[in-house]
Amino acid sequence: MKHKLPHFLASPLLHSFAVLLLLAGCKPSASKPEGGVRHYDVDYNFVLTTDSLVLQEDRPMHMLIAPETSDSMTVRRGDPLVVAQFEIIPEDSIDSVWVKVARDQMTQGWVHESTLLASVVPDDPISQGIDLFSDGHVVAALALCFIALAAWLIRRMRRQRFHLVHIDDIPSPYPMLLCLGFSAATVLYTSIQIFVPDLWAQFYFDPTLNPFGLPRMLSLFLGLAWLIVILFLASLDDIRRCLPPGEALLYTLALLAMLAVLYLLFSVATQYFLGYFLWMLYAVLAIAQYWRRHRAHFRCGQCNAPLHERGRCPKCGAN
């Protein structure tokens, strides 16, 4: 089933920013966090993401939760819904909170809050992006790894060189820094989920691209996200400069697969409190590897491309 992203998400800059949020993002649980904090209120706007949602027309009553004579109506996927009212029914064993939502003046009714939150997404492009990829980011990561591995095997069978960050890297620090920033953001995101999950729910229901004026951990996370955008664009530019088009495409694919591997590795390791030590070790090894083996020591006299060693220029072919 396809979801349409809002028009302004077609911007390349916002697509780059979404790399982090969509890969690492997860939709919060439909249940309210500890303490009963609700991150939306009356007049909050949702969009229905399930095929349909049945609304009860009659107001829920104490000791009479769902009378058999109650009329109902159905709203369909993509319908906008606005929150109109809340009702607490302590006797309800399913969910004590009922929410009245309205599509328009003629179509409005009541539904359990847990059912509502499992069927809708906030009417905001960032929240919709997180929801769209929340169930498929692991599959997407594994697919990237599989495609990159297949490309590596094909190149090896043909005895052709396959550039890969950290292993056979280009003379640019940006791919290495991108991996470090992305893994750091993964560690921080997983830490938020472990220690202060309510912060992510707050961001999901009230998202922003501005890293200022937020709680410290969210502010740092969004700051890392913007840093990753800059490093990603700088990496693409240097890849284009250092490699021919075909090899540049393969390197970019391998770089995305490396990011997927780092996400899976550090998200799991941080859940067992090993991610912090592992990230520090990874940072030291990655920087040392780049400094010793891949840093550009020379420039091509023909096209000014950076070179790690003297010899044939990979860009223009000059010696």
**pLDDT of the residue at 100:** 94
CA distance 264 to 46: 31
- Our measurement of the distance from residue 143's CA atom to the centroid of its chain's CA atoms, rounded to an integer in Å, reads 16
3-state secondary structure of 45: strand
**pLDDT of the residue at 307:** 67
Domain coordinates in residue numbering, the chain:
31-117, 127-307
β strands within 157-221, DSSP E: none
**pLDDT of the residue at 83:** 95
**pLDDT of the residue at 174:** 94
**pLDDT of the residue at 120:** 93
CA distance 53 to 65: 18
**pLDDT of the residue at 68:** 53
Q: From first to last of its 319 residues, what are the pLDDT tens digits of the chain? A: 334 444 433 344 444 444 445 444 566 655 454 345 788 999 999 999 999 999 988 888 765 555 555 678 899 999 999 999 998 888 888 888 999 999 998 889 999 999 999 999 999 988 888 777 665 556 666 676 777 777 767 766 667 777 888 888 888 899 999 999 999 999 999 999 899 888 888 888 998 888 888 899 999 999 999 999 999 999 999 898 888 888 888 888 889 888 888 988 899 999 999 999 999 999 999 999 988 877 766 777 777 767 666 777 766 777 7
> Are 226 and 17 within 8 A, CB to CB?
yes
Please state the pTM of the whole predicted model: 0.76
**pLDDT of the residue at 243:** 85
- Concatenated DSSP letters of 65-128: SS-TT--EEEEETT-EEEEEEEEE-TT-SS-SEEEEEESSSS-EEEEEHHHHHTTEEESSHHHH
